[in-house]
């Protein structure tokens, strides 16, 4: 056992649930004495499940859902807290409460207990006395356990709390625990225990309700509308009679009748219950659950007197990452789009990058993460978050090199071992993006073997004649251009899976070749560069006609071929024109899914069609980014048509209103609309490339880069583009004006602020 847990044993309660039933959350306590003065005291603690610790009646730390979610078949993290100030001379009490969490609660649509059947605790308090001697208080069967007010707690289902069963001052000295039982010694799986490095989940902010009203459909129910779809839970302050029972339901959206719409939550109950103890004002927030919601309905049982709900606040939870970037422009709907993208990130960066926070899914879908990572890295410092998730990925990699579709790998939905094109390729795109955004070579170094292992896997199992997802060797071929409106993602029609597969295969080889060069592995770099060349040739042979047309007519096929440089330069302009023609013939609307959407506007701009990119960006009719905004969305929807006036709600089987994937357009807003782009890794060199267009008259992006604060602001005044550029102290920059504009500015810029004016020729 690790030194920090030298004396500790895993322990559990004497009670646990089954594959379909929850047991009450166990409480643990141990009494110990502290004599003499204490120099320092550190609590090292982890759980398989979730823990919350208390010391002498006070909560230890401010983490939520500690120790977090990792690939539990290989690794669990622990936290260390400085608790010196919480100890006192004489009798002390250490306490812990355990929740089922991801370890033994429900995950996705599977049964409970995927990793183990009950939550386990491992804790060691190390006290260093003034004389240098050390006392260790370590988890053991000598600790006492019981159950209390948390009757059940599950991340997907919700929490049930009966305040009548509260245990009083259970974690304070002087408490009578004679009716508590001894803890059980437990056997934990043989996995690594490591100190956590990733950002913990915390309560980031609280939201007051925007509106609060008595539900017209229920005589005893109150509805709170927080005005924002988000991830977390509510905190309630209530007064009422003992035994009054509250049912708390959560929903992202209202139905046509104005009631909470919960059909899209699928198998997640997303309901909390609270029973009052009736001793005055009671405040409660669930501990071991979260929901994705904008609306809360609190209803109560009939009784002699209704409870008085004094206040309800929304508690926003996510991994605690510093906010680094902001974007805004002169177009209010695009500003709301940016707001929605940011809240999509806040809602889904919780321990792992999840697809959605509300239904019975909430998984680390690789495809979604690779699509959004670049946008995410602008809004917040996601370096540590992805360090940790990439480690989960290495742990989840199969011995053959396959990268699963979800990480941690929950083996849900009967998914194949390989995530397939664009999904498993998170193995390249994510570390590469971390390197680009943070100048972080260490992440590439740590991940290189995993990346190379995946390339070997592809060559062995998924590729024929340099075509990946070739139907002869891969009958599944991946998720396709998921949720595209042109039939992609279905078995027939849409962007062919071998086209998607080969395009991303080429990109993988390119990233690996660059990575090998950076890591000073010239032979491997040469090998991957040659491989890249062969894949490009094979792509051209199979999918590109001599005049630059693609064998598949979808927008995504054109976008991928152009974005990954797969079309010969001589016909590239013709390929881009064909993409534009296809967008025009679609009523100047996009039709792309998860795979093509992130690159669509980049490709149009890079090939001389900025005007078309702006038309798509400013399009308000379905399908477009602004259509949900016009419907009042406050986060990014999973589907372009999550709700439409003609058809109402999409299929309940898959219709989240809080999926960040289409929010990947945020990257284009920053890099091209505002014009803050990476010149050299970590923005060591900034490329200012403002591209005004559409109806926009101004835009601005500010970013705290690893080298300091960078910013760009532009404003159109008649024929003049007025720019203010800020270059961090440790960086340089270059200004690239849009075609047809000229200024006296030299182009190369040093640290500091620069006011530049450009005129239209
Ligand atoms: C998830 C996605 C994911 C997809 C795989 C869905 O159920 O919500 O976001 O990428 O499955 O195709």
- For ligand 1, atom 2, name the residue with the nearest CA: 355
Strand partners for 223: 213, 297
pLDDT at 1 over 70: no
Mutation test residue for ligand 1: of 265, 354, 366, 367, the one with most atoms within 8 Å of CB: 367
- For ligand 1, atom 7, name the residue with the nearest CA: 654
pLDDT tens per residue across span 76-112: 999 999 999 999 999 999 999 999 999 999 998 778 9
- Is the Cβ–Cβ distance between 94 and 123 less than 8 Å? yes
pTM: 0.97
Atom number in ligand 1 closest to CA 356? 8
Query: Which pair of structure tokens corresponds to residue 533?
Result: 């060349």
Using left for φ > 0, alpha for ψ between -120 and 50, and beta otherwise, residue 251 falls in: beta
- For ligand 1, atom 12, name the residue with the nearest CA: 479
Mean pLDDT of the 512-522 span: 98
pLDDT at res. 491:
44
pLDDT at res. 488:
58
Atom number in ligand 1 closest to CA 638? 9
pLDDT at 480 over 90: yes
CA of 422 to the centre of ligand 1 (A): 12
Q: Which residues are catalytic?
A: 361, 638
CA of 104 to the centre of ligand 1 (A): 23
- For ligand 1, atom 9, name the residue with the nearest CA: 355
Tally Cβ neighbours within 10 Å of residue 279: 11
pLDDT at 521 over 80: yes
CA of 427 to the centre of ligand 1 (A): 17
Atom number in ligand 1 closest to CA 413? 7
CA of 537 to the centre of ligand 1 (A): 31
pLDDT tens per residue across span 545-587: 999 999 999 999 999 999 999 999 999 999 999 999 999 999 9
pLDDT at res. 633:
98
Atom number in ligand 1 closest to CA 482? 12
CA of 368 to the centre of ligand 1 (A): 8
User: Which protein residues touch ligand 1 with a CB less than 6 Å away?
Assistant: 355-356, 361, 365, 367-368, 479, 482, 654, 659
CA of 359 to the centre of ligand 1 (A): 12
3-state helix, strand, coil in the chain (%, to 5): 25, 30, 40
- For ligand 1, atom 1, name the residue with the nearest CA: 355
pLDDT at 492 over 60: no
Mean pLDDT of the 266-295 span: 97
User: Helix 522-543 crosses helix 497-518 at what angle (to 10 degrees)?
Assistant: 160
Using left for φ > 0, alpha for ψ between -120 and 50, and beta otherwise, residue 113 falls in: left
> Band of the pLDDT at 493, cuts 50, 70, 90?
low
Burial of 219 (0-12, 13-18, 19+ CB in 10 A): exposed
Q: Is 85 helix (H, G, I), strand (E, B) or coil?
A: helix
pLDDT tens per residue across span 620-648: 999 999 999 999 999 999 999 999 999 99
Identify the residue whose tokens are 């009203």.
Answer: 213
324 DSSP 8-state letter: -
pLDDT at res. 208:
98
Atom number in ligand 1 closest to CA 479? 12
CA of 656 to the centre of ligand 1 (A): 10
pLDDT at 746 over 80: no
Q: Are β-strands 192-195 and 75-82 bridged in parallel, bridged antiparallel, or unpaired?
A: parallel
Mean pLDDT of the 511-531 span: 98
- For ligand 1, atom 8, name the residue with the nearest CA: 355
Burial of 752 (0-12, 13-18, 19+ CB in 10 A): exposed
Mean pLDDT of the 42-64 span: 98
| Nearest-angstrom CA–CA distance, 680 and 686 | 7
Strand partners for 700: 328, 713
Atom number in ligand 1 closest to CA 405? 5
What CA dihedral angle connects 757, 758, 760 and 761, to 10 degrees? Answer: 130
Residues with Cβ within 8 Å of residue 474, at least 6 apart in sequence: 461, 462, 468, 497, 501
pLDDT at 490 over 60: no
- For ligand 1, atom 3, name the residue with the nearest CA: 365
| Nearest-angstrom CA–CA distance, 160 and 152 | 5
């Amino acid at each position: 056992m690790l030194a920090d847990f030298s004396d500790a044993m895993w322990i559990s309660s004497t009670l646990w649930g089954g594959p379909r039933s929850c047991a009450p959350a166990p409480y643990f306590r141990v009494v110990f004495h502290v004599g003499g003065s204490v120099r320092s005291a550190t609590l090292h603690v982890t759980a398989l499940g979730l823990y919350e610790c208390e010391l002498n009646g006070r909560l230890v730390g401010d983490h939520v859902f500690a120790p977090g979610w990792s690939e539990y078949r290989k690794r669990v993290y622990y936290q260390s807290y400085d608790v010196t100030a919480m100890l006192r001379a004489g009798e002390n009490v250490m306490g812990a409460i355990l929740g089922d969490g991801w370890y033994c609660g429900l995950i996705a649509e599977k049964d409970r207990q995927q990793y183990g059947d009950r939550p386990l605790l491992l804790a060691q308090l190390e006290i260093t006395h003034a004389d240098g001697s050390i006392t260790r208080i370590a988890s053991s069967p000598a600790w006492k356990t019981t159950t209390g007010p948390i009757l059940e707690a599950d991340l997907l289902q919700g929490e049930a709390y009966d305040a009548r069963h509260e245990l009083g001052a259970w974690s304070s000295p002087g408490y009578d625990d004679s009716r508590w039982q001894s803890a059980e010694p437990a056997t934990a799986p043989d996995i690594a225990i490591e100190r956590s490095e990733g950002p913990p989940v915390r309560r980031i902010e609280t939201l007051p309700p925007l509106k609060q009203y008595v539900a017209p459909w229920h005589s005893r129910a109150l509805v709170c509308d927080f005005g924002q779809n988000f991830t977390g839970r509510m905190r309630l302050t209530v007064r009422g009679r003992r035994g009054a029972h509250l049912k708390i339901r959560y929903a992202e959206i209202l139905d046509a009748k104005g009631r909470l719409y919960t059909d899209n939550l699928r198998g997640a109950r997303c309901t909390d219950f609270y029973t009052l103890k009736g001793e005055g004002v009671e405040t409660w927030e669930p501990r071991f659950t979260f929901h994705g919601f904008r609306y809360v309905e609190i209803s109560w049982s009939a009784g002699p007197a209704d409870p008085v709900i004094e206040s309800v606040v929304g508690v926003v939870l996510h991994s605690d990452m510093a906010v680094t970037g902001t974007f805004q422009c002169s177009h209010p709907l695009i500003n709301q789009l940016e707001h929605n993208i940011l809240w999509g990130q806040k809602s889904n960066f919780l321990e792992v990058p999840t697809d959605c926070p509300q239904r019975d899914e909430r998984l680390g879908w690789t495809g979604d993460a690779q699509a959004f990572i670049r946008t995410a890295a602008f809004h917040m410092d996601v370096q540590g978050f992805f360090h940790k998730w990439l480690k989960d990925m290495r742990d989840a990699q199969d011995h053959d090199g396959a990268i699963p579709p979800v990480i941690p790998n929950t083996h849900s939905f009967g998914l194949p071992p390989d995530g397939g094109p664009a999904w498993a390729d998170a193995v390249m795109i994510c570390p590469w993006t971390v390197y680009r955004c943070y100048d972080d070579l260490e992440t590439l170094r740590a991940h290189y073997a995993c990346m190379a292992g995946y390339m070997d896997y592809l060559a062995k199992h998924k590729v024929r004649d340099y075509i990946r997802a070739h139907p002869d060797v891969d009958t599944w071929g991946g998720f396709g251009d998921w949720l595209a409106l042109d039939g992609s993602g279905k078995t027939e029609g849409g962007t062919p899976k071998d086209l998607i597969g080969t395009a991303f295969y080429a990109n993988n080889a390119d990233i690996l070749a660059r990575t090998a060069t950076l890591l000073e592995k010239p032979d491997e770099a040469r090998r991957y560069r040659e491989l890249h060349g062969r894949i490009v040739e094979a792509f051209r042979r199979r999918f590109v006609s001599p005049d630059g047309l693609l064998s598949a007519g979808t927008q995504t096929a054109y976008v991928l071929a152009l974005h990954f440089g797969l079309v010969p330069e001589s016909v590239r302009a013709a390929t881009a024109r064909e993409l534009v023609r296809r967008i025009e013939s679609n009523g100047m609307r996009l039709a792309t899914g998860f795979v093509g959407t992130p690159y669509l506007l980049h490709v149009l701009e890079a090939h001389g069609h900025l005007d078309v990119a702006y038309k798509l960006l400013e399009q308000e009719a379905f399908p477009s980014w602004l259509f949900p905004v016009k419907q009042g969305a406050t986060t990014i929807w999973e589907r372009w048509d999550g709700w439409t006036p003609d058809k109402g709600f999409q299929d309940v089987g898959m219709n989240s209103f809080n999926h960040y994937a289409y929010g990947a357009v945020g990257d284009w807003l920053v890099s091209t609309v505002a014009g803050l782009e990476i010149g050299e890794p970590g923005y060591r060199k900034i490329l200012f490339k403002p591209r005004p267009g559409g109806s926009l008259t101004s835009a601005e992006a500010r970013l705290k880069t690893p080298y300091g604060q960078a910013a760009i602001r532009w404003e159109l005044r008649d024929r003049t583009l007025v720019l203010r550029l800020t270059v961090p102290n440790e960086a340089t920059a270059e200004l690239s004006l849009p075609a047809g504009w000229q200024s006296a500015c030299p182009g190369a810029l040093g640290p500091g602020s620069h006011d530049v004016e450009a005129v239209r020729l």
